[in-house]
Amino acid sequence: MPPKCILFYKTAAADERLEAVLDRESTAGRLELLGVSAEEQSMVPPARRALPFFSPAAISGMAFDYAVVIEASAGEKRDRARSRVKRLLPPFLLRLHYKIAAWRFTRKKRRLWQSFDGWGKPIERQPNMVLPERSPLGAWSIPVTKTIPARTFLLPGFRMDEYAALRMRGITFLSDNCWGGLMYHTLGMEMTSPFINMFVWTDDFIRLINDLPYYLSQPLVPERLRERRGAACPVVLLGDVRLHFNHVTTPDELTAFAEKWYRRRDRMDMDTLLIESCFDTPENQAKYESGFAACPYPKLIFTPYPSEKYVCLSAFDENAARYKGDFSECTRDCAKNDYPGEIPLDFLRTFLTRTAQPPKEEKKGTKGDFLLK
């Protein structure tokens, strides 16, 4: 039976690409559209008004598999906010405003760290800490496990049957930067990896993935505060591996983030583990390739140059002004499905096939680190 879906519109702006994918999957019998919902019926695009309309309160008690949440992207929301500010301030005052705001924010956060006395001490578990669930339809008691973001349908080669299979099975991304968290966000799936909103230098990352059970058994120990480009973030030890929690700005945030880290670690499924990283130059490939090859888990590795073994993101060189030499930013755009070119990768098929567990005697090694279209 195909999944039964309700389209929930949180924006009146129609996306023709999304509507085309929904029609294709519905016609192919890979999903069943039960109807539409929105806070105001006028937000439903004309092409969908022939479907039954349900109020948000009504769908919370209905029997359905997923609500497809169609809303403005984070970039669109940010651009709208900036445009409102730009109408009030001339450009030079706007730049000054942002600089002063950033300076005041950093100064305030740095003062909070001055009284932190947890350096060198393991961060204890907080089992009673309540961590809010972020559901786009939480206001109507619809859990995040029953929602799919519209952006998921725009992934290259999307098929609802493959997505439903991946969602049912789950996947554990282990990335050395924000790629894994962004990929979970794009897929709308539960985060079953602790390596979210952080980064690890490549030398540390290779040690980590080649002795993963040991490192996952270690406690988090704050080592020091790292300052870079006017911002400060804690560096946390996991054994002898340094984790850079670059989205943590206060000691209280560190406590909550560490508890999230521990809980996500407990949810890891080693049978669905996928290691992600990149080689930004041939020199780094020559330096680190043997370390990645020794890792016994499936891998997905990106490069900005042609390669027979890895995924080439050729648009990196074509968009030098956009990326300013940071290839990892290009890979993150790939995870956000914001890559300025055709992504040479079928994500869903890759995730389903590369994390399928081979016989134990064949598990070690890297027979094809990706699946091209």
Answer yes or no: is pLDDT of 42 > 50: yes
Alpha helices in the chain (DSSP H): 16-27, 56-59, 74-88, 91-114, 160-169, 179-187, 202-209, 212-216, 251-266, 282-294, 315-318, 320-323, 327-335, 347-354, 360-363
Per the structure block, which two tokens stand in for 33? Answer: 């559209």
Rounded to the nearest 5°, which phi and psi values hold at 299? -135, 155
Residue 28 parent element (H or E): none
Which amino acid appears at position 76 of this protein?
E
| pLDDT reading at 67 higher than 60 | yes
Confidence class for position 363, pLDDT limits 50, 70, 90 = very low
Residue 332, CA atoms < 13 Å, CB-side half-sphere: 16
Is 90 exceeded by the pLDDT of residue 360? no
In the predicted model, what is the mean pLDDT of residues 186-203?
A: 96
pLDDT at 166: 96
From the options 2.20.25.90, 1.10.275.10, 3.40.50.720, 1.20.1740.10, give the CATH code of 4-71: 3.40.50.720
Which phi and psi (to 5°) does residue 65 adopt? Answer: -90, -50
Q: What pLDDT score does 81 carry?
A: 56
Mean pLDDT for 247-276 is 95
355: pLDDT confidence band, cut at 50, 70 and 90?
A: confident
The lowest-confidence range among 47-61, 99-113, 340-354, 355-369 is: 355-369
Q: Which pLDDT does position 31 carry in this prediction?
A: 97
Q: Are 189 and 167 in contact (CB under 8 A)?
A: yes
* 1-37 pLDDT, tens digit each: 899 999 999 998 878 999 999 999 999 999 999 999 9
Residue 204, amino acid: D
Q: Alpha-carbon Rg of the chain, whole angstroms?
A: 22
> Any idea what DSSP says for residue 2?
P
Which residue reads 């009284």 in tokens? 115
Measured CA to CA, the distance from residue 190 to residue 74 in angstroms comes to 19
Written as one string, the DSSP assignment of 157-221 is T--HHHHHHHHHH--EEEESSTHHHHHHHHHT-----S--S-B--HHHHHHHHTTHHHHHTSPEE
Distance CA 236, CA 239 (A): 9
- What is the mean pLDDT of the segment spanning 61-65? 95
Contact 355, 166 (CB under 8 A): no
Task: Give me the mean pLDDT over the 219-225 stretch.
Answer: 96
Q: Is 145 helix (H, G, I), strand (E, B) or coil?
A: helix
Over the chain, what is the mean pLDDT? 89
Neighbouring CB atoms inside 10 A of 56's CB total 17
Answer for the pair 334, 302: CB distance below 8 angstroms, yes or no: yes
Residue 362 clears pLDDT 50, i.e. is over it? no
Of 225-234, 283-292, 296-305, 314-323, the range with the lowest mean pLDDT is: 225-234
What letter does residue 271 receive in the DSSP assignment?
G
Q: For 174, phi and psi rounded to 5 degrees?
A: -125, 105
Q: Which residues of 157-167 are buried (b: 16+ CB within 10 A; e: fewer)?
A: ebbbebbbebb
pLDDT confidence of 83, banded at 50, 70, 90? low
Report d(CA 136, CA 151) in Å as an integer: 13
Structure token pair of residue 202: 């490549």
In the structure, what pLDDT confidence band is assigned to residue 229 with cuts at 50, 70 and 90?
A: low
Mean pLDDT of 91-96: 72
Q: What is the residue extent of each domain of the chain? A: 4-71, 75-114, 154-363
Average pLDDT on 302-331 reads: 95
Least confident segment among 111-115, 217-221, 252-256, 299-303:
111-115
Q: In terms of Cα–Cα distance, which of 40, 36, 43 is closest to 72?
A: 43
Token pair for 128: 């009673």
The pLDDT score that the predictor gives to residue 368 is: 37
Among 135, 204, 197, 153, which residue's Cα sits nearest to residue 26?
153
